[in-house]
Amino acid sequence: MIDDLRRLLDPLHRKIRLLASRAVLTVRKSNALMQVKALDNEPRENVELFQQYGFRSAPQAGSEGILIAVGGVRDLAVVLCMDDRRVAIAMQAGEVAMYTDEGDSIHMKRGRIVEVTTETFILNASKKVIFNSPEVKSTGTITDMSLGNNVTVDQLRQHQLAHTHHVNGTNAESNPPTQRLS
């Protein structure tokens, strides 16, 4: 009787055991399809990478994930939760980060600090950018800033440095300012 029961349950046991496994990305074929190695280097072709709505990543070879065999069928596998621990950044409990293998990151740290790290930061806003803060600080040089109506701070500075005044009671003009803005 036990042998009969085992014989009946073995197919179910195999499906459950093969339902989920670790997978290592070997080739990324597109934004959605990849080739992975699963159990005992079992190659899986054209496996779909499921990602959260609004978030996209293009993991590199060697990244790891969870392979789910939909319905217990290994030929209908999808990969969830890809990660690459080789480039993960150090974080404290409760922190959240997005990062790349090049060192770019958006790190939401303890103490309500958001730190963005990159070489070049471009912000595109078609209407406006609003900073609601009592203080804005820059440790580097602000090279130019627009004041509206196609006037920049640099143009205003050049105008200020070149301006003269009419000297009352004469036909003379004063010299431009000698004190320079730094």
pLDDT in tens, 90-133: 999 999 999 999 999 999 999 999 999 999 999 999 999 999 99
Q: Please write the tens of the pLDDT for every residue from 2-37.
A: 888 888 888 888 778 778 999 999 999 888 899 999
Separation CA 79–CA 26 (nearest Å): 13
pTM over cut 0.75? no
Q: What is the CATH number of the domain that holds 29?
A: 2.40.50.140
Is residue 11 a part of any domain in this protein?
yes
Domain range for 63 is 2-83
Does residue 67 have a pLDDT over 80?
Answer: yes
Beta bridge partners of 172: none
In a domain, 47, yes or no: yes
Q: Give the list of residues 6+ apart from residue 167 with CB closer than 8 angstroms, or none.
A: 173, 174
* DSSP bridge partners of 21: 67
Instruction: Report the number of distinct structural domains present in the chain.
Output: 1
